[in-house]
Structure 1
Amino acid sequence: MFTMENTEGFDQKTLDKMNAEVKKSMSKSIENFFIFRTLIFSYDFLQ
């Protein structure tokens, strides 16, 4: 994650926004993975 220690020139408010976007993106990726896995499992099961 982005912190004051590993980034330069950003204020805390901006870092918080960036971190929120990363979390949202990661959450969506995980959600899509589970949907995809369920679809594959269902397809295999129905064959």
Structure 2
Amino acid sequence: MIKEKKLTSIRLSKNLYAHLQNKAKEENRSVNNYIETLLFESSEYFEPNE
């Protein structure tokens, strides 16, 4: 089953984006995946694997 995703955009300072980019690279993730993971963890949202 394909998970539907909602496309959204956010505005970040260049410094914050660069920081997130570096952190994502350390974990071998895309910036999008890194931010999504942070949001899941900070909001205590759980999405079961299918």
State the TM-score bracket (shorter-chain normalisation): 0.3 to 0.5
The structure that is helix-richer by fraction is 1
TM-score between both structures, scaled by the size of structure 1: 0.37
TM-score between both structures, scaled by the size of structure 2: 0.35
